């Protein structure tokens, strides 16, 4: 069976990004959400938006859990009739970004040159400038967007909003080819792939 | 000739349509899916559907239950004995919420149901309209799939999808909520096309040969292999394939309560029931087998007891159609993912024909101990109060293992499952996963419609019977030939047993008073009898079985009798107690 190190890894909590491809159907959001809430697992961030394929939506769900629990959750999600495919990845497996918007008084930005410098240092871009307020935008990881809040707070940050995490899986080959398989009556091995089954290949030896 | 010409003509022309209401399309769809019996209860928001069924009474047999929960349980009973999809009608609001217990029961026990609920007009959704409830969201956790229809034209495809999802793969309950406007709306109906593929849904995974080969190698090298089988064998209609596998491998096989009957009770390799109140040998041997072959079962906690002390020495081969079950509770060394009707023959092909005489003898030795210390006293007491076990034992003698035994939940259920004799498949109907008291009587009604040629006996406790006894009205009205066997111990027996064993006999609210059940039956024109003495038991059972139509037999059994063996909660299966 698996060695003790694996078990240790499987039992320690870490961030997982769960990517789910679903049909664009009313109610699927709830069906996915209750898989987490039933087990008293908090969703830290959730992004649902149309994928590159028409009528198919992509979920990015961020949770902090053990690998063992995440595997079980992934299978429960994939079991939903309107779910096409689920991937669960650690932060090492993905490239991700969050988008943040900051609303600050225009007078501060206009008057204080160093604020402008701070913004540039933090990679912020101006989205709009109005008489009373200016909106900046930045993308990055949580720590980066958090840092800019700290920076702007003393200068009268009026409002802040952050999107959910969106993530690209480093070694994915996209979903287009897979979808064609799904549309066939008898999907091929690729679609039936099961990360568990594949990993277990060498577990049993006679 | 004429038909061929007609067919050719149809092909040449554009698709013929007829203008019908959504409700009529629903009736046509139900008939196309082979529905004959519907269990339901009308109400305001489903009236157009009931108006439509008025004209389909010759094709669709609607059974008016007395509570929607019982419509769901009856449909479950029907599905379990017939192997078909159970169909339910209920109205919106309370009608729909009353279904939830039945849906939850069907979901956890993988029973195929299609439930149709009425809903308020689409324009009223979200307005807290009269009898409006958000049934789609309320039922989401307890349905395999659900869908709200707001346009009549959606009905044929939604229904086709519902039947396909309910019966394919790991079966389960499906709910279609139809707003009243959609039921009444006229649309151009193109006929009914059954569903056979949904791109996001894969009911039957592809069987991977490498795992079949690994499983076979493991089985062939095993010295103490042990088969655990569950309802998956029945749901996959794989009884023959399973029997062939068991007989060629010569491996002792034990069942979960929902797997009962997949091979006959008397089969020499059937070593008994698993779990908390299962047999001695199967529980103890779980912790001494070297290879465990789990087939269509899900390692429920009532089967496994304490997981960290469960079969740690064994290599586990797990055959299941649902990938989410692999590794959920017990780690599989070889996961054989697939429909056991397909995987079992492949496995049988690769295994060596063997016998395991010594290993089987160990089971027999445990059985001997259980027989001597427990079963004989339970089944053949000569003195003292009547036991539940002797009632089931005498029933076996009379029915010869050919009757359907529907049980409710509690002590009598464990006794009926342990001792009930089953010669063939689909003869045991019980609420396994959810443990729904009140399941027995309505499920028996459905079971009779599902297996009209068989005697159906509802074995129910005095507590559970009082949860759904209003269904006596259904039995009366539709002349349902159900034999009701109430095992009355004047207690909520299972909870009382736990209070005795674990709470120092602090009997907290388990003392339950009952009405005169025989008189009650009489008021519904159901013949009945009460048995209090041993000498009247066999005549009473004979009268029940020989009286045409329904019959209610109440047997007064020992008040404070416990079901043993027992794996106490938190204990390992090998710590099973005989007393």
Residue A204 to residue B323, Cβ atoms within 8 A: no
Q: A169 φ, ψ to 5°?
A: -85, 125
Confidence of residue A114 (pLDDT cuts 50, 70, 90): confident
Sheet containing A56-65: give its strands across. Answer: A45-50, A56-65, A14-23, A83-90
Whether B180 is a known active-site residue: answer: yes
Closest CB to B324 among A31, A76, A185: A76
Confidence of residue B16 (pLDDT cuts 50, 70, 90): confident
ipTM above 0.90, yes or no: yes
**Angle at the Cα of B312 from the Cα atoms of B307 and B318, rounded to 5 degrees:** 80
pLDDT tens-digit readout, B61-119: 999 999 999 999 999 999 999 999 999 999 999 999 999 999 999 999 999 999 999 99
Confidence of residue B246 (pLDDT cuts 50, 70, 90): very high
Enclosing H/E stretch for B405: strand B404-407
Residues with Cβ within 8 Å of B361's Cβ and at least 6 positions away in sequence, in order, are none
Average pLDDT, stretch B184-196?
A: 96
Whether B494 is a known active-site residue: answer: yes
Q: Which B positions 175-234 lie with beta carbon below 8 A of chain A? A: 196-202, 205-206, 208, 210-211, 214, 217-218, 221
Determine the pLDDT at residue B199: 86
Residue B196 to residue A185, Cβ atoms within 8 A: yes
Averaged confidence pLDDT in chain B: 96
Determine the pLDDT at residue A181: 67
Question: Residue B6 pLDDT more than 90?
Answer: no
Question: Residue A46 pLDDT more than 50?
Answer: yes
Determine the pLDDT at residue B174: 98
Beta-bridged to residue B319, according to DSSP, are: B295, B336
Q: How many CB pairs under 8 A join A and B?
A: 81
User: Which chain A residues touch B218 with a CB distance below 8 Å?
Assistant: 204, 206
Residue B333 to residue A71, Cβ atoms within 8 A: no
Here the tokens at position A60 are 């990015």
Residue A182 to residue B140, Cβ atoms within 8 A: no
User: Which chain A residues touch B324 with a CB distance below 8 Å?
Assistant: 72, 75-76, 78-79
Closest CB to B141 among A34, A84, A191: A34
Comparing A67-81, A104-118, B393-407, B481-495, which segment has the lowest mean pLDDT?
A104-118
Determine the pLDDT at residue A184: 62
Comparing A150-154, B363-367, B372-376, B546-550, which segment has the lowest mean pLDDT?
A150-154
Averaged confidence pLDDT in chain A: 83
The answer to whether residues B561 and B412 touch, using CB atoms and an 8 Å cutoff, is no
Determine the pLDDT at residue B13: 59
The answer to whether residues B351 and B248 touch, using CB atoms and an 8 Å cutoff, is yes
**Catalytic pick among B388, B494, B544, B566:** B494
**Catalytic pick among B131, B371, B470, B477:** B131
User: Which chain B residues touch A78 with a CB distance below 8 Å?
Assistant: 323-324
Highest mean pLDDT among A8-12, A62-66, A201-205: A62-66
Q: Which residue of B has its CA nearest to A70?
A: B328
Q: Which of B199, B211, B332 to mutate to test the interface with A (most CBs of A within 10 A)?
A: B199
User: Which chain B residues touch A183 with a CB distance below 8 Å?
Assistant: 199
3-state helix, strand, coil in chain B (%, to 5): 45, 20, 40
Q: B75 φ, ψ to 5°?
A: -65, -35
Residue A26 to residue B217, Cβ atoms within 8 A: no
Q: Which of B176, B299, B324 to mutate to test the interface with A (most CBs of A within 10 A)?
A: B324
The answer to whether residues B481 and B448 touch, using CB atoms and an 8 Å cutoff, is yes
Question: Residue A4 pLDDT more than 80?
Answer: no
- Whose CA is closest to A22, among A31, A13, A14, A11? A31
Distance from CA of A59 to the nearest CA of B (A): 15
* pTM attached to this predicted model: 0.93
Enclosing H/E stretch for B310: none
Residue B140 to residue A27, Cβ atoms within 8 A: yes
**Catalytic pick among B28, B33, B68, B390:** B68
Q: Sort residue B41 into left (φ over 0), alpha (ψ -120 to 50) or beta.
A: beta
Closest CB to A200 among B146, B205, B335: B335
Question: Residue B552 pLDDT more than 70?
Answer: yes
Question: Residue B29 pLDDT more than 70?
Answer: yes
Average pLDDT, stretch B32-61?
A: 98
Residue A185 to residue B197, Cβ atoms within 8 A: yes
Question: Residue A205 pLDDT more than 60?
Answer: no
Here the tokens at position B443 are 């499920």
pLDDT tens-digit readout, A148-204: 999 889 888 999 999 999 999 988 777 776 776 666 655 444 444 444 333 333 322
Please state, in angstroms and rounded to a whole number, the distance separating the CA atoms of residues B144 and B112.
Answer: 9
Question: Residue A8 pLDDT more than 60?
Answer: no
Distance from CA of B122 to the nearest CA of A (A): 15
Whether B185 is a known active-site residue: answer: no
Residue B214 to residue A204, Cβ atoms within 8 A: yes
Residue B323 to residue A79, Cβ atoms within 8 A: yes
Residues with Cβ within 8 Å of B360's Cβ and at least 6 positions away in sequence, in order, are B250, B252, B269, B271
Q: B569 φ, ψ to 5°?
A: -60, 135
DSSP letter string, B171-240: --EEEEEEEHHHHH-EEEE--------BTTB-SSPPPPHHHHHHHHHHHHH-SSEEEEE-THHHHTT-HH
User: Which chain B residues touch A72 with a CB distance below 8 Å?
Assistant: 324, 327-328
Question: Residue B215 pLDDT more than 80?
Answer: yes
- Produce one character per residue of B247-280: b if its CB has 16 or more CB atoms within 10 Å, e if not: bebbbbbbbbbbbbbbbbbeeebbbbbbbbbbbb
Average pLDDT, stretch B326-340?
A: 94
Closest CB to B337 among A31, A188, A194: A194
Residues with Cβ within 8 Å of B538's Cβ and at least 6 positions away in sequence, in order, are B394, B398
- The residue that leads in pLDDT, A59 or A193, is A59
Please state, in angstroms and rounded to a whole number, the distance separating the CA atoms of residues B40 and B236.
Answer: 28
Question: Residue B139 pLDDT more than 60?
Answer: yes
Q: Which residue of A has its CA nearest to B140?
A: A31
Closest CB to A187 among B137, B202, B324: B202
Determine the pLDDT at residue A110: 78
**Cα A123 to chain center, whole Å?**
21
Confidence of residue A9 (pLDDT cuts 50, 70, 90): low
- Produce one character per residue of B72-96: b if its CB has 16 or more CB atoms within 10 Å, e if not: bbbbbbbbbbbbbbbbbbbbbbebb
Average pLDDT, stretch B422-430?
A: 98
- Whose CA is closest to A43, among A65, A21, A71? A65
The answer to whether residues A125 and A89 touch, using CB atoms and an 8 Å cutoff, is no
Confidence of residue A53 (pLDDT cuts 50, 70, 90): confident
Q: Which residue of B has its CA nearest to A203?
A: B333
User: Which chain B residues touch A81 with a CB distance below 8 Å?
Assistant: 144-145, 165, 198, 200-201
Q: Is the peptide bond before A71 cis (omega within 30 degrees of 0)?
A: no
Please state, in angstroms and rounded to a whole number, the distance separating the CA atoms of residues B146 and B191.
Answer: 22
pLDDT tens-digit readout, B17-26: 999 999 999 9
Whether B131 is a known active-site residue: answer: yes
Residues with Cβ within 8 Å of B408's Cβ and at least 6 positions away in sequence, in order, are B430, B431, B437, B438, B439, B440, B441, B458, B459, B460, B461, B464, B465
User: Which chain B residues touch A191 with a CB distance below 8 Å?
Assistant: 202
Determine the pLDDT at residue B143: 98
């Amino acid at each position: 069976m698996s060695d003790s190190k694996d078990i240790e890894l499987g039992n320690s909590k870490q961030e997982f990004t769960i990517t789910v491809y679903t049909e664009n159907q009313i109610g699927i959001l709830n069906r996915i959400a209750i898989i987490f809430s039933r087990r008293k697992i908090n969703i830290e961030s959730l992004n649902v938006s149309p994928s590159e394929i028409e009528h198919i939506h992509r979920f990015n769900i961020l949770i902090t859990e053990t690998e063992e629990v995440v595997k079980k959750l992934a299978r429960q999600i994939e079991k939903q009739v309107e779910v096409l495919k689920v991937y669960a990845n650690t932060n090492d497996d993905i490239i991700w970004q969050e988008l943040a918007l900051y609303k600050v008084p225009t007078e501060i930005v206009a008057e204080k040159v160093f604020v402008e410098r701070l913004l540039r240092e933090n990679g912020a871009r101006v989205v709009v400038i109005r008489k009373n307020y200016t909106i900046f935008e930045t993308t990055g990881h949580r720590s980066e967007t958090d840092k800019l809040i700290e920076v702007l707070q003393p200068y009268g940050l009026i409002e802040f909003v952050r999107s959910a995490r969106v993530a690209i899986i480093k070694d994915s080959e996209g979903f287009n080819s897979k979808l064609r398989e799904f549309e066939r009556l008898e999907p091929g091995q690729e679609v039936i792939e099961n990360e568990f089954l594949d990993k277990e290949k060498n577990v049993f030896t006679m | 000739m004429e038909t061929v010409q007609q067919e050719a003509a149809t092909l040449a022309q554009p698709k013929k349509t007829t203008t019908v209401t959504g409700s009529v399309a629903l009736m046509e769809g139900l008939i196309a899916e082979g529905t004959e019996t519907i269990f339901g209860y009308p109400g305001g928001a489903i009236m157009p559907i009931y108006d439509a069924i008025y004209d389909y009474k010759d094709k669709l047999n609607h059974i008016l239950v007395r509570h929607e929960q019982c419509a769901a349980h009856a449909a479950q009973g029907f599905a379990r004995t017939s192997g078909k999809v159970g169909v339910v009608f209920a109205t919106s609001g309370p009608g729909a919420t009353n279904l939830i217990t039945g849906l939850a029961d069907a979901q956890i026990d993988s029973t195929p149901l299609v439930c149709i609920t009425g809903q308020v007009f689409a324009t009223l959704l979200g307005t807290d309209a009269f009898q409006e409830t958000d049934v789609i969201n309320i039922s989401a956790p307890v349905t395999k799939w659900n869908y709200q229809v707001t346009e009549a034209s959606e009905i044929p495809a939604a229904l086709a999808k519902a039947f396909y999802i309910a019966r394919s793969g790991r079966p389960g309950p499906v709910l279609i909520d139809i707003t009243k406007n959609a039921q009444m709306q006229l649309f151009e109906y193109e006929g009914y096309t059954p569903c056979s593929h949904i791109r996001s849904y894969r009911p039957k995974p592809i069987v991977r040969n490498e795992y079949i080969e690994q499983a076979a190698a493991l089985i062939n090298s095993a010295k103490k292999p042990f088969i655990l089988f569950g309802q998956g064998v029945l749901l996959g209609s794989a009884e023959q394939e399973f029997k062939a596998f068991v007989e060629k491998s010569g491996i002792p096989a034990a069942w979960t309560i929902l797997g009962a009957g997949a091979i006959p009770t008397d089969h020499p390799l059937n070593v008994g029931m698993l779990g908390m109140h299962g047999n001695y040998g199967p529980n103890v041997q779980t912790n001494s087998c070297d290879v465990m072959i789990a087939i269509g079962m899900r390692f429920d906690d009532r089967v496994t007891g304490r997981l960290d002390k469960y079969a740690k020495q064994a290599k586990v081969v797990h055959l299941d159609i649902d990938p989410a079950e692999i590794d959920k509770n017990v780690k599989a060394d070889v996961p054989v993912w697939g429909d056991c009707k397909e995987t079992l023959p492949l496995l049988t092909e690769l295994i060596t024909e063997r016998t395991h005489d010594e290993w089987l003898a160990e089971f027999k030795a445990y059985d001997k101990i259980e027989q001597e210390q427990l079963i004989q006293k339970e089944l053949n007491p000569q003195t003292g109060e009547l036991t539940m076990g002797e009632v089931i034992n005498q029933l076996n003698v009379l029915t010869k293992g050919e009757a359907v035994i529907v049980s409710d939940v509690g002590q009598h259920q464990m006794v009926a499952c342990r001792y009930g004799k089953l010669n063939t498949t689909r003869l045991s109907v019980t609420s396994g996963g959810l443990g729904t008291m009140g399941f027995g009587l309505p499920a028996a009604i459905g079971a009779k419609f599902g297996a009209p040629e068989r005697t159906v006996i509802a074995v129910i406790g005095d507590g559970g019977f009082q949860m759904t006894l209003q269904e006596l009205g259904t039995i009366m009205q539709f002349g349902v030939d159900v034999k009701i066997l109430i095992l009355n111990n004047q207690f909520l027996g299972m909870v009382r047993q736990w209070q005795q064993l674990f709470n120092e006999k602090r009997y907290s609210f388990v003392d339950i008073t009952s009405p005169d059940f025989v008189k009650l039956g009489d008021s519904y024109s159901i013949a009945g009898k009460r048995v209090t003495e041993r000498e009247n038991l066999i005549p009473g059972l004979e009268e029940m079985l020989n009286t045409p139509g329904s019959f209610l037999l109440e047997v007064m059994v020992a008040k404070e009798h416990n079901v043993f063996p027992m794996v106490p909660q938190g204990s390992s299966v090998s710590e099973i107690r005989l007393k």
